[in-house]
């Protein structure tokens, strides 16, 4: 144990000397470079007397020697203190606002147009001839309604006709029972004509399944002329 402590102490002392001269190893010949490993450490062997010899990288020390290594570059020193931040400069003065330009002169007004004289009133024209008599008006307007039952799967036409001497001014149809709406279908709805004169209203119906029947009604709006 005494030998190891002495050998280590001697190696440490020699290491101090070699660290101080590490720059010489960096500029040495190719033969001296063999003592320096790839990571920059220097290889050596020291005996119990404190004698140190350099060995090539990967060599094994003798039985009475202790292997030692040391770095040729010292540890990086701590970072120096950060300098103080300089004071912020003063804000420059705002420039002056430019002067407002003068308002231009208003142009002269144009001359006013003259109002023309009112011409004399012309003479009254002659009275026109009397126009033809208008169509005769309606009188005695009333509604004629006709209802029929439509049995299951039946097709029925229902007609509402105005009395003789009257015309139909309109018409239509409806189903008095609301339950029949899903089974009843209106096939046609149109006026009844005598020549070109409407004299009533007619509509066709189909009972698609409402039992035992449903009621369909057709109406015509009738009036006398003259």
Q: Which of 44, 88, 50 is nearest to 67 (CA)?
A: 44
Does the pLDDT at position 100 exceed 90? no
Instruction: Work out the average pLDDT over 132-149.
Output: 84
| 27, two tokens | 């500029």
> Where residue 161 falls among pLDDT bands split at 50, 70, 90?
very high
The span from the first CA to the last CA of the chain, in angstroms, equals: 152
pLDDT digits (tens, 9 = 90+) for 108-139: 877 776 766 777 887 987 887 887 875 666 78
Averaged pLDDT of the chain: 78
Cα–Cα distance for residue pair 177/210, rounded to 1 Å: 11
Share of the chain above pLDDT 90, in %: 28
Instruction: Work out the average pLDDT over 199-203.
Output: 97
Residues facing residue 192 across a β-bridge: 200
Among the ranges given (40-49, 186-195, 214-223), the one the predictor scored with the smallest mean pLDDT: 40-49
pLDDT of residue 158: 96
Higher-confidence residue of 58 and 4: namely 58
Cα–Cα distance for residue pair 164/150, rounded to 1 Å: 28
Among the ranges given (31-35, 51-55, 188-192), the one the predictor scored with the smallest mean pLDDT: 31-35
pLDDT of residue 181: 65
> Where residue 194 falls among pLDDT bands split at 50, 70, 90?
very high
Give me the DSSP letters along the chain: -HHHHHHHHHHHHHHHHHHHTHHHHHT--HHHHTTB-TTSEEEEEEETT--EEE--TTPPPPTTEEEEEEESSPPPPPPPPPPPPPPPPPPPPPPPPPPPPPPPPPPPPPPPPPPPPPPPPPPPPPPPPPPPPPPP-EEEEEEEEEEEEEETT-EEEEEEEPPTTEEEEEEEEE-S-GGGGGTEEEEEEEEEEETTEEEEEEEEEEESS-SSEEEEEEEEEEEEE-
Angle formed at CA 54 by CA 52 and CA 58, multiple of 5 degrees:
125
Give me the DSSP letters along 90-136: PPPPPPPPPPPPPPPPPPPPPPPPPPPPPPPPPPPPPPPPPPPPPPP
pLDDT of residue 99: 84
pLDDT of residue 74: 64
pLDDT of residue 180: 61
Does the pLDDT at position 7 exceed 80? no
């Amino acid at each position: 144990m005494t030998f190891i402590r002495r050998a280590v102490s001697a190696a440490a002392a020699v290491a101090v000397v070699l660290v101080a001269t590490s720059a010489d190893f960096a500029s040495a010949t190719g033969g001296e470079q063999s003592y320096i490993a790839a990571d920059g450490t220097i290889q050596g062997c020291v005996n119990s007397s404190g004698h140190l010899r350099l060995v090539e990288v990967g060599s094994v020390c003798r039985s009475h020697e202790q292997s030692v290594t040391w770095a040729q570059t010292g540890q990086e020193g701590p970072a120096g203190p950060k300098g103080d931040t300089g004071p912020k400069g003063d804000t420059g003065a705002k420039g002056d606002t430019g002067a407002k330009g003068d308002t231009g002169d208003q142009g002269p007004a144009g001359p006013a147009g003259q109002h023309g004289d009112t011409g004399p009133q012309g003479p009254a024209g002659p009275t026109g001839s009397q126009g033809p008599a208008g169509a005769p008006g309606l009188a005695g307007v009333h509604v004629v309604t006709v209802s029929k039952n439509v049995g299951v799967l039946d097709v029925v036409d229902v007609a509402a006709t105005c009395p003789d001497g009257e015309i139909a001014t309109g018409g239509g149809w409806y189903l008095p029972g609301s339950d029949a709406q899903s089974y009843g279908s209106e096939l046609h709805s149109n006026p009844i004509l005598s020549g070109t004169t409407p004299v009533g209203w007619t509509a066709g119906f189909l009972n698609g399944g409402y039992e035992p029947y449903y009621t369909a009604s057709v109406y015509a709006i009738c009036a006398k002329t003259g």
